[in-house]
Amino acid sequence: MNPDHALTERGPLAVVRFLGLVLLGALIGGVAALAAVGFVTAVLWLNEILLISPRSRMMFDHPAALIAATLAVPTLGGLLVGLLHRAIPEKRPHTPADVIAAVQTRRGRLPARAGGLSALTAMISLGAGASVGQYGPLVHMGATLGSLGSRLLRLGRSEDNITIACGVAAAISAAFNAPLAGIVFAHEVVLRHYALRAFAPVAAAAIVGYVVATTVLDQGALFHVAETVVPRAWEFMLFVVIGGLGALVAGAYMHAILGVGRLATKLPLPATLRPALAGALLGLTALWVPDILGMGQETLRFATIAGAFGGGELLLILLLKLAATALCLGMGFSGGVFSPALVIGTLFGALCGTLVGQVAGAPPETFVFYAVCGMVAVTAPVIGAPLTTLLIVFELTGSYALTTAALASVTLASPIAAQLFGRSLFDIQLDRRGLDLSAGRGRAVLQATSVASQVTQDCVTLPPETPVSEAIGALGRARHAEAYLVDARGRYRGCVLLHDLEAAQQADGGRRPAADVIDAKRPVLRPGSSLWEAMARLEEVSGEALAVVDDHRDNAFMGVVYEAGIARAHRVQSDTLRREEHGNG
């Protein structure tokens, strides 16, 4: 059965199929949540035995050995990560950006091997104290499990997208104890559309993820604020300003990561050894400022307490944490961008709160509002998910006042960052890999679909030396207006048009070779050209088709792609997307 047809199917069978998908979503949610729980537990265990967590460091009473561990653990962890990444085809860890690309281009099918290895290296990175986040790897792991489930059941691309979203929702739901945030994140960041058909399986996955996390993993909330105070009216204005400034911090953070990544490729050091170098530098700095090690949950908590840091201290740790995260991620450690952004944002908000306290005498009771506003102002632009970030604040704190303050902050943060830098770090990374998501999913799908399926040999091909008059005759018999000149070795030599041939015949009787009247402006396509590129090329000419030429095989002529074929493919893709996004099950 054509899986796309199932999108518009109605009747009892369709209901059964839909319920099956919801059940599959719940199943994937359970598996992804258990995997997330296992991942988090393993990281905590590694942090304990490798003397990364403050608790284990405090309990270990040998200062010299502690210094040695601070230097050796991130370095050796980096080395191991670098070696493992060689086993991934792209030689880099897969991240949520790969999940977004797979769903937005409907390529689907996340590779299980790369996914598993990326999760393993993220676990080692986090366990060894690298300044990276855990939520990115959890999202990717959930997505990979979702895709695997779909593949095992041989479901179509649309179902694959939904099961990927299910895995993502369950991972976020389990990691944050926040099912609503999980559902919204899967829609806002991964699917980027709200279809009733996807909503139910994704919601089922998020709920199962939440139940698993609360029963199996007895973890406290990421942050817990039992706040009863309400900020004064004028403070909301400040929260908006913090949002605007937070967008700039988010931009600096994103570009620092990308910048170090670019710089790393220029280093005279094999890619395998780069994470080890980053680990050594991180360990060295951590001897001086231990707050930059690991995910930084303790730093995050302290930043919400008025007076825990001095103003200068906040700025220093903010800059060092930003640099440490850029160093770790840019040099090839595996991990997410969200947790460090939470820490950096909270430090930024605390800095703003401290300054406001000193200048305007704001009461210390509302200090936590500034910290949380800074947190959402930096994180929402980085992951491109303002609604998810707000929901995380709401579900974790249960405080409506705090969520409203966060809303004020995110109002400016996300749009300003999007205008200045792009929708999210993931989108910027994908753009640099040639996938532009700024114009939406339709274009991304066309960009990701090759013209190969539209290539046909059903066209007029002539040797280049064919006289013009004979070429006219051949075109007339075939009822075509264009012919493609291909030499004896199968190489493409150009395209000739009927009206040019007739003009040439009138001028000199048609004895010249057809190669003399080649349409020099007619572009060609490559076998790997996308439908998007083909459409753009066709805008440049008025003709019926474009030749497909393989320049890797001495300009071999592969066939032609008709304008009508491209238009048809475009319509089919658009229809599928529309049905997927608006179908109700």
Contact, 115 vs 167, CB < 8 A? Answer: no
Q: Of 53 and 466, which has the nearer Cβ to other proteins?
A: 53
Q: Of 51 and 373, which has the nearer Cβ to other proteins?
A: 51
Q: Of 53 and 161, which has the nearer Cβ to other proteins?
A: 53
Structure tokens belonging to residue 16: 């059964």
User: How far, rounded to the nearest angstrom, does the alpha carbon of residue 243 sit from its chain's CA centroid?
Assistant: 23
Q: What is the DSSP string of 521-558?
A: T--EE-TT-BHHHHHHHHHH--SSEEEEEEGGGTSEEE
Q: Of 18 and 302, which has the nearer Cβ to other proteins?
A: 302
Nearest distance in Å: CB 366, other proteins: 13
Contact, 223 vs 393, CB < 8 A? Answer: no
What type of residue sits at position 311?
G
Nearest distance in Å: CB 169, other proteins: 25
Nearest distance in Å: CB 355, other proteins: 20
Nearest distance in Å: CB 56, other proteins: 8
Q: Of 221 and 564, which has the nearer Cβ to other proteins?
A: 221
Region of 299 please: left (phi>0), alpha (psi -120 to 50) or beta. Answer: alpha
End-to-end CA distance of the chain: 16
Q: What is the DSSP string of 453-487?
A: GG-B--SEEE-TT-BHHHHHHHHHHHT-SEEEEE-
Q: Of 364 and 528, which has the nearer Cβ to other proteins?
A: 364
Sign of CA dihedral 267, 271, 274, 275: positive
Identify the CA nearest to 142 among candidates 38, 281, 290, 228: 38
Q: Of 307 and 509, which has the nearer Cβ to other proteins?
A: 307
DSSP β-ladder status, 545-550 and 556-562 = antiparallel
Site residues, other proteins (CB under 8 A): 53-55, 57-61, 219-221, 224-227, 290, 297-298, 301-302, 304-305, 307-309, 368
Contact, 389 vs 63, CB < 8 A? Answer: no
Q: Of 87 and 305, which has the nearer Cβ to other proteins?
A: 305
Q: Of 297 and 461, which has the nearer Cβ to other proteins?
A: 297
Nearest distance in Å: CB 371, other proteins: 12
Nearest distance in Å: CB 365, other proteins: 10
Nearest distance in Å: CB 308, other proteins: 6
Tell me the C-alpha distance between 339 and 232, whole Å: 29
Nearest distance in Å: CB 58, other proteins: 4
Structure tokens belonging to residue 336: 């997410």
Nearest distance in Å: CB 226, other proteins: 6
Q: Which residues pair with 460 in a beta bridge?
A: 483
Identify the CA nearest to 402 among candidates 154, 182, 236: 236
Angle in degrees, 0-180, between the axes of helices 498-508 and 468-478, rounded to the nearest 10: 140
Nearest distance in Å: CB 372, other proteins: 13
Nearest distance in Å: CB 552, other proteins: 57
What are the C-alpha distances in Å from 389 to residues 34, 51, 315, 342, 571? 23, 31, 24, 10, 36
Angle in degrees, 0-180, between the axes of helices 233-266 and 338-360, rounded to the nearest 10: 140
Query: For residues 348-377, b (16+ Cβ closer than 10 Å) or e, as one string?
Result: bbbbbbbebbeeeebeeebbbbbbbbbbbb
User: How buried is 90 (Cβ within 10 angstroms: 0-12 exposed, 13-18 middle, 19+ buried)?
Assistant: exposed
Q: Of 59 and 420, which has the nearer Cβ to other proteins?
A: 59
Let me know how many helices (H) and strands (E) the chain has, helices first. Answer: 23, 6
Q: Of 221 and 439, which has the nearer Cβ to other proteins?
A: 221
Q: Of 302 and 338, which has the nearer Cβ to other proteins?
A: 302
Nearest distance in Å: CB 243, other proteins: 24
H-helix or E-strand spanning residue 309:
none
Q: Of 224 and 433, which has the nearer Cβ to other proteins?
A: 224
Tell me the C-alpha distance between 440 and 433, whole Å: 16
- DSSP state for residue 336 in the 8-state scheme: B
Nearest distance in Å: CB 236, other proteins: 22
